[in-house]
Structure 1
Amino acid sequence: MTVHDTTADLSAFIHDWQEWHTRQEAELAAPHGFLAITGLHWLGEEPQRLPDAPGAWSTGADGVVVILDDGEELVVDGAPVRGEHRFGVLPERGGVNAVWGDAVIEVAKRGGHDIVRPRHPDNPLRTAFTGTPAYAPHPRWTVTGRYTAFDEPRPTTVGAAVEGLEHVYDAPGRVEFELDGRPQALTAFPGRSPGSLLVLFTDATSGVTTYAANRALVLPPPAADGTVVLDFNRAANLPCAYTDLATCPLPPAENRLSVAIEAGEKIPRERGGS
């Protein structure tokens, strides 16, 4: 008997999934979450004023600079700034959130480019959000795989939701598993928390019932013997599934699975999903 064979176990499984799904939606639709983004501005050496943020913005060898007009103010790291403020050189995939009234001005580096992405709580994409469609959770989509670390992390270049942009990740290893008796493998990237892994993938449902470009699955740290659980019920959309103002990475070519994974989040209603 497996862990999900009893009614009580199945009920707990579904309850845990529902809590996860609720957290996903809450993070997405938070006052300054991805649905609040009103613009994606690429900075250059020439200062530019933006329609949804104060000041004139530019970047160069010394990093991002904003020049605020009289009466304009940002709050950076809890301190108000006026006039000229230098954010400095930002790390790749890093950034700073500056507060402007009830908005947050995200200053970040993506794919080697400095960007400004204002986030306004009253953005219609956020205020009209009614949740993300998803497959009903089922234990059959929870499988145990085996993680094999590479001898050393492999720099892996992938495309992005924004045409012409590229992301580079140091892939630490790959995960092998079976679905319906068919062997599968996914290259893994480092996750947010220590030891965790992130896999980006597409499958036979992509562009049909699930978002065409990518979905993401967070894996817990593998056990000492390399075993790791893949719960595809928690396959999640990235922000680019909802807005064109995201720079999300695409899966590496080897992560395009031929099997149909009818689990996890579906095409958002914002993209015509139901």
Structure 2
Amino acid sequence: MTVDLTATDLQAFAQEWLEWYRGQEERLAAPHGFLAITGLHWLDDRPQRFPDAPGAWWTDAEGVAVALDDGEELVVGGKPVRGEHRFGVLPERGGVDAVWGDAVIEVARRGGHDIVRPRHPDAPLRTAFAGTPAYAPDPRWVARGRYTAFETPRPTTVGAAVEGLEHVYDAPGRVDFELDGHPLALTAFPGRGPGGLLVLFTDATSGVTTYAANRALSLAPPTADGTVVLDFNRAANLPCAYTDLATCPLPPAENRLPVAIEAGQKIPRERGGI
């Protein structure tokens, strides 16, 4: 069912959406946000040097390591490091930020691979950023759904924005809801904070007015009876919508919705959006 709002509520609804939108933009365009990424470097057991990071980098059974030249320094956990430094074995979707001057060198593990992803505030993608197009907020695109937990979380393998890469998520359950008279369902992944959920999806606008590969919707923890609110006005682009230097997951096949959800963020200008 959709959510009905009074005239007074509509004003608050639009203001709350605007605050959400501004927060999305601020995080994206922060000095070390995703628009500041200048390279996506895949590590192996051979030391490699990159033009946008200091030292020579590699990974082995003991995890990621860097050998810094004389005069080079990184700050890791607030402490300066020189010479050879080991970051250790990183957890999947985990990482460490190492400060290098005004840049941050992200050291992370994605899809079973260790990567180095430098972030420079003066990256052209960031300095030229003019904001993300979006649909005007409309309560038509807010629905109440019902969350059903699986007996045990289901390991779910999905593709990634990078060809050949896969991500595995333990899906805790699914959300059933109705939109414009259409019964729909989405497999949910763990979200931010205890009990929060995240759904990745495409719909009939994908590749037309919204980014083709994916959009993401964060959900608050379900209530005791399983009720969740899906506000598609807050359907957000993932970093891969802006840059090829992201490893974003793709939605599972069952999350390709057959309806046009004309809400949320549109194709970025960086990808030819208007």
Question: Which TM-score applies when normalising by structure 2?
Answer: 0.99
Q: Please state how far the C-alpha of 1:134 moved relative to its aligned partner.
A: 0.3
Residues 216 and 235 of structure 1 are in contact (CA less than 8 Å); yes or no, is this contact kept in structure 2?
A: yes
Cα deviation digits, residues 160-202 of structure 1 (max 9, x gap): 0000000000000000000111100000000021110000000
Which residue identity is paired with 2:189? Answer: F
Aligned CA-pair RMSD:
0.9
Aligned to 2:57: 57
Correspondence list, 1:24-43, <5 A: 24-43=24-43
Paired positions, count: 273
Counterpart Cα distance in 2 of 1:126 and 1:71:
29
Counterpart Cα distance in 2 of 1:64 and 1:131:
35
Q: Please state how far the C-alpha of 1:3 moved relative to its aligned partner.
A: 7.1
Aligned to 2:113: 113
The answer to whether the aligner puts 1:190 opposite 2:207 as a matched pair is: no
Q: Please state how far the C-alpha of 1:64 moved relative to its aligned partner.
A: 0.4
Counterpart Cα distance in 1 of 2:5 and 2:42:
52
Which residue identity is paired with 2:136? Answer: A
Residues 4 and 13 of structure 1 are in contact (CA less than 8 Å); yes or no, is this contact kept in structure 2?
A: no
Q: Cα–Cα, structure 1 residues 185 and 248, in superposed 2: closer, same or farther, change >3 Å?
A: same
Correspondence list, 1:141-152, <5 A: 141-152=141-152
Counterpart Cα distance in 2 of 1:208 and 1:193:
33
Aligned to 2:161: 161
Task: Give the secondary structure class of the aligned counterpart of 1:53.
Answer: coil
Counterpart Cα distance in 2 of 1:19 and 1:213:
25
Counterpart Cα distance in 1 of 2:61 and 2:6:
61
Which residue identity is paired with 2:31? Answer: P
Which residue identity is paired with 2:200? Answer: L
Residues 186 and 255 of structure 1 are in contact (CA less than 8 Å); yes or no, is this contact kept in structure 2?
A: yes
Q: Please state how far the C-alpha of 1:4 moved relative to its aligned partner.
A: 5.0
The answer to whether the aligner puts 1:200 opposite 2:200 as a matched pair is: yes
Identity, % of aligned pairs? Answer: 83
Which residue identity is paired with 1:244? Answer: D
Residues 3 and 144 of structure 2 are in contact (CA less than 8 Å); yes or no, is this contact kept in structure 1?
A: no
Residues 3 and 140 of structure 2 are in contact (CA less than 8 Å); yes or no, is this contact kept in structure 1?
A: no
Which residue identity is paired with 1:183? Answer: P
Aligned to 1:81: 81
Counterpart Cα distance in 2 of 1:79 and 1:53:
18
Counterpart Cα distance in 1 of 2:140 and 2:124:
38
Aligned to 2:98: 98
Cα deviation digits, residues 11-51 of structure 1 (max 9, x gap): 11000000000000000000000000000000010000110
Task: Give the secondary structure class of the aligned counterpart of 2:54.
Answer: strand
Counterpart Cα distance in 1 of 2:6 and 2:90:
51
Aligned to 1:242: 242
Correspondence list, 1:8-23, <5 A: 8-23=8-23
Q: Which runs of 5+ in 2 are unaligned?
A: none
Which residue identity is paired with 2:150? Answer: F
Which residue identity is paired with 1:15? Answer: Q
Counterpart Cα distance in 1 of 2:6 and 2:156:
43
Counterpart Cα distance in 1 of 2:158 and 2:172:
15
Q: Cα–Cα, structure 1 residues 178 and 3, in superposed 2: closer, same or farther, change >3 Å?
A: closer
The answer to whether the aligner puts 1:233 opposite 2:237 as a matched pair is: no
Cα deviation digits, residues 102-154 of structure 1 (max 9, x gap): 00000000000000000000001001101100000000100000000000000
Which residue identity is paired with 2:222? Answer: P
Counterpart Cα distance in 1 of 2:115 and 2:132:
27
